[in-house]
Structure 1
Amino acid sequence: MKAGKAFGAGLVLTMALAAGGCSSIRESRGYIVDQSLVNAVQPGIDNRQSVEGTLGRPSFVSQYGTPTWYYISSTTGRKPFVSPRIESHSVLAVQFDASGNVVSAERSGVNKVAFLSPDGDQTPTLGRERGFFEDLFGNIGQVGAPGAGPGAGGPGR
């Protein structure tokens, strides 16, 4: 009877460990949001120095158009051996005027995320398509062609 109880206890322990391995793994990526600090940024009051002092350096800075700082935060969750999925996503876009004062601070979420779906395993390119043998033997006759020798007008000649 003792062997049966030990086997049952071992089986229960194994099942508990297996169930624990199926729990979701959460990861925070990017800027870690502190709502009280985000709410402290006020248009017309703050400037670039005060925003950087409050929120830190931005995740991205706009290169064109209105000067804008982006603070991007994502929380992903995944089960073991499965690709991660976005659970929450937020973007804080702080826009500045020409003198560096905050014009607006807009928040957006996962509703503005663009999901891209690649088309197969090839990238379409412009130009002509070459076959296997053309790739393999395409340079035959090119080496040693007239005008390609050392006497030809190359660099420095």
Structure 2
Amino acid sequence: MYRANAFKIGLVAAMGIGLAGCSSIRESRGYVVDAMLVDAVQPGLDNQRSVEMTLGRPSFTSDYGQPTWYYVSSVTARRPFEGTRIASHSVLAVKFDTAGNVVSADRSGIDRVVRLSPDGDKTPTLGRERGFLEDLFGNIGQVGAPGAGAGQ
């Protein structure tokens, strides 16, 4: 009787541990969004200093054109034996005028993310393809050859 109960408890514990290993791991990357702070940024009222005091330093800023600060936030999920996928993504773009006052604060989500799928695991290059033996023995006789620039 005691042995049967111990077996059942052990089986339930093993199943619980096994199922816990199948749960996904969520990670926040970039700016951690606080909706109340983001809503506090008001066009016409705030300037660069007040935005930095409210939201902190931006993820990156624009180098050209209208001064814009970008706050990028992503939450990724990763299941065991699978690749990482984006669960949620948001970008807050705070645009300033030349005097440093907020003109607009626009939000965008995962709908604006571009998915790239590379073609294979090799980068195509111009020129001829060389084999392993050509790479290994290709320079024999080339060192010091006329016109190769050696000895000049």
Both proteins in one fold, TM over 0.5: yes
Equivalent position of 1:148 in the other structure: 150
Residue in structure 1 matched with residue 54 of structure 2 by the alignment: 54
Matched, 1:129 2:133: no
Deviation at 1:139, TM superposition (A): 2.3
How far did 1:36 drift? 1.1
Question: 1:38 Cα deviation (Å)?
Answer: 0.6
Q: Does 2:8 align with 1:8?
A: yes
What do residues 76-119 of structure 1 show as CA deviations (whole Å, max 9, x unaligned)? 12222321221111000011122211111100000000111111
Q: How far off is 1:44 after superposition?
A: 1.6
C-alpha deviations, 1:110-137, integer Å up to 9, x for none? 0000111111111123x21231144333
Q: What is the CA–CA distance in structure 2 between the aligned matches of 1:101 and 1:80, rounded to whole Å?
A: 47
Matched AA of 2:16: A
TM-score norm. by structure 1 comes to 0.87
1:108 partner amino acid:
S
CA distance in 2, matches of 1:140, 1:98: 63
AA partner of residue 130 (structure 1): E
1:69 aligns with 2:78: no
After TM superposition, where is structure 1 displaced by more than 6 Å over at least 4 residues in a row? none
Structure 2: stretches of 5+ with no match in the other structure = none
Q: Which amino acid in the other structure matches residue 119 of structure 2?
A: D
In the alignment, what sits opposite 1:155? none
Q: For the residues of structure 2 that align with 1:82 and 1:91, how far apart are their CA atoms?
A: 26
TM-score, normalised on structure 2? 0.89
Instruction: Count residues with an aligned counterpart.
Output: 149
SS of the aligned residue for 2:32 comes to coil
Alignment RMSD, CA only? 1.5
> 2:80: which partner in 1?
80
The percentage of counterpart residues that share the same residue type is 66
